[in-house]
Amino acid sequence: MMAPLTIYGPTSANYDEADMPIIMNDWVHENTSLAFKQELGGGVPLADSLLLGGHGNYKCSDLDPDCCSQCRNCAPGVDSEFCCNPNPLCTQGGKQLTGSTYTKTFVKGKRYLMKLINGSAAAMFIFSIDGHDLEVVQTDLVPIVPFKTDSLFIGIGESYRQGSDSADD
């Protein structure tokens, strides 16, 4: 479980509506204790997927123990976690689910304050919205001289507040 801790501070531009914080992060399906132990040993676990606002895609496989529930009769010497049926949570109508995509609807003419947070363990992100410029108005609780850009590089543990003008929609 993950959630943002929002500390409200000054912003250097006006907006019409403020959105809830959007966390982007890597996601490891491994048990957190095992992943942490691996990281202490010098190897950061590879992410199974990336999430934006809690949404992401992941190719579920019969070989993935996190997508299995009922084991079949395995061949002698085969570990039961490698011969199982997909978990019902990973399938719908016999088709494997691949996750979901974060969506947000904007109203033309409004300016939105988006709070972007990189909560990942090992991934840095480049954030953009197709066909839109972003106006950066704050970074890590520090007001700045606003500037426009078509994308943002967001490092681990960084947060940005940006205005997104939807007048061009």
Within a domain: residue 1? no
Please tell me the predicted confidence (pLDDT) of residue 90.
57
Contact assessment for residue 54 and residue 100, using Cβ atoms and an 8 Å cutoff: no
pLDDT value at 149 more than 90:
yes
CA-nearest of 27, 28, 101, 29 to 68 is 29
Which DSSP symbol is given to 109? T
CATH number assigned to the domain comprising residue 25: 2.60.40.420
pLDDT at residue 127 above 90? yes
Which structure tokens are listed for 84? 């199982």
User: Domain residues for 40?
Assistant: 7-56+102-169
Q: Is residue 36 included in any domain, yes or no? A: yes
The whole-number pLDDT of residue 120 equals 86
> Does any domain span residue 2?
no
User: Same structural domain for residues 135 and 73?
Assistant: no
- Please give the pLDDT value at position 122: 79
Strand runs labelled E in 54-154:
68-71, 84-86, 91-92, 95-96, 111-118, 125-127, 134-139, 142-149, 152-154
Q: For residue 25, is it within any domain?
A: yes
Q: How many domains does the chain have?
A: 2
31 and 14 inside one domain: yes
pLDDT tens-digit series, residues 29-45: 777 777 778 878 877 77
Distance CA 28, CA 30 (A): 5
Please tell me whether residues 81 and 117 are part of one structural domain.
Answer: no
Confidence of residue 58 (pLDDT cuts 50, 70, 90): low
Residues 50 and 121 in one domain: yes
